[in-house]
Amino acid sequence: MSLDLHFPGLLGQDRVKRQLRAEAANNRLAHAYLLVGAKGSGRFRLALNLFTALNCQRREEGLSPCLQCPSCQRAAKLQHENLLILAPSQEQASAQIKVDALRAALRTLAFPPLGQGARFILIREAEQLNPAGGNALLKSLEEPPANNFIMLCAQDPAALLPTLVSRCRRLNLQPLAPEVMLQALREKGCSRIPARIALSGGSLGQALAMDPEQMEEKLGHLLRQLFKADTLNDLWGLAEEVAANFQGERRDRQGLVSFLDLLAQYYRDAAVARAGRPEMALLGQAAHDISLARALDNFNWVRCCQNQILTNAQPELALTVLMKRLL
């Protein structure tokens, strides 16, 4: 059955939308997708949109989802009988997805979905599947029964079993353009919009969820500690303290890199202030008195450190080297 898919209320991601629209129209949807993008980039909403469309009771009458019928409304509340969502527990960012819950969800595949719709097993933060979970999923990915879909959302596919990745059709979500973000954040009446855009890496969800004032407090704390440090041992201790904030069951390298964005913006602000353009500053934090050359160098060192952390350098070491250079 072909489907005239649309994406009401979803911003950006034109390429992915075009692809899904064409696949839905030609009845060529894959039974497993891997949606890759930053947290808050819309992976979950995109998957939910497809689910809602495939289950919409008016899907044969025109553009789907209609968002009005009982099925669409249940989907919007995440209370749809065909929608099974698995996610790590909210309280602990690094918690794993429970294997028992995954196995229970996979057992439902033995029965056809309810109504004329499609069942989705939707896994948020698929990196948090442990190897047992990944292996349980692999079997179902081989050939799920008709009208069952498995959707994996991930930020870092390299953290997934390669065999999982190879069995899913991949959709890469892109960061939103600043002007699209600006418009959306204005409509929501957000404060500190330039800082939100600069620090969210094109992820609307992150821009909406962030608390710029609290982030600046954290930055202020880090800087005060940094300027107080006398010895390399002090710096190492500070590096350990920073890294420990991003260490749960596994290391949240992306979270640490996002935190360092704040430090990069601080030196960027110092640079634009020294260059006579203080109106371009993004943070409320007043940049301490350093030269333009030093601000540019420091900005660059932060970016280097972020790259090192993303390419698996030991965070404590990379942070200590960074802080030594900043002083």
The binding site for Zn ion (CB under 5 A) comprises 56, 65-66, 69, 72
Give the span between the Cα atoms of 265 and 169, in whole angstroms: 36
Q: Measured from the CB atom, is 41 or 49 closer to Zn ion?
A: 49
Q: Which residues of 193-230 are buried (b: 16+ CB within 10 A; e: fewer)?
A: bbbbbbbbbbbbbbbeebebeebbeebeebbebbeebe
Q: Measured from the CB atom, is 56 or 151 closer to Zn ion?
A: 56
Q: Measured from the CB atom, is 24 or 173 closer to Zn ion?
A: 24
Give helix 253-274 / helix 193-200 axis angle, nearest 10°: 130
Give the span between the Cα atoms of 119 and 224, in whole angstroms: 52
Q: How far is CA 117 from the centre of its chain?
A: 28
Q: Measured from the CB atom, is 67 or 95 closer to Zn ion?
A: 67
| Structural contact between residues 3 and 53, judged by C-beta atoms closer than 8 angstroms | yes
Closest contact distance (angstroms) between CB of 50 and Zn ion is 13
Closest contact distance (angstroms) between CB of 75 and Zn ion is 8
Closest contact distance (angstroms) between CB of 185 and Zn ion is 29
Q: Measured from the CB atom, is 37 or 117 closer to Zn ion?
A: 117
| Structural contact between residues 326 and 274, judged by C-beta atoms closer than 8 angstroms | no
Q: Measured from the CB atom, is 29 or 106 closer to Zn ion?
A: 29
The residues pairing with 247 across neighbouring beta strands, listed in sequence order, are 251
Q: How far is CA 51 from CA 67, 85, 279, 319, 327, in A?
A: 12, 12, 45, 43, 52
Closest contact distance (angstroms) between CB of 72 and Zn ion is 3
| Structural contact between residues 120 and 78, judged by C-beta atoms closer than 8 angstroms | no
Q: Measured from the CB atom, is 114 or 286 closer to Zn ion?
A: 114
Pairing between β-strand 119-123 and β-strand 83-86 as defined by DSSP bridges: parallel
Closest contact distance (angstroms) between CB of 67 and Zn ion is 6
| Structural contact between residues 316 and 231, judged by C-beta atoms closer than 8 angstroms | no
Q: Which residues of 299-327 are buried (b: 16+ CB within 10 A; e: fewer)?
A: bebbeebbebbeeeeebbebbbbbbeebe
Closest contact distance (angstroms) between CB of 82 and Zn ion is 13
Q: Measured from the CB atom, is 76 or 132 closer to Zn ion?
A: 76
Closest contact distance (angstroms) between CB of 315 and Zn ion is 47
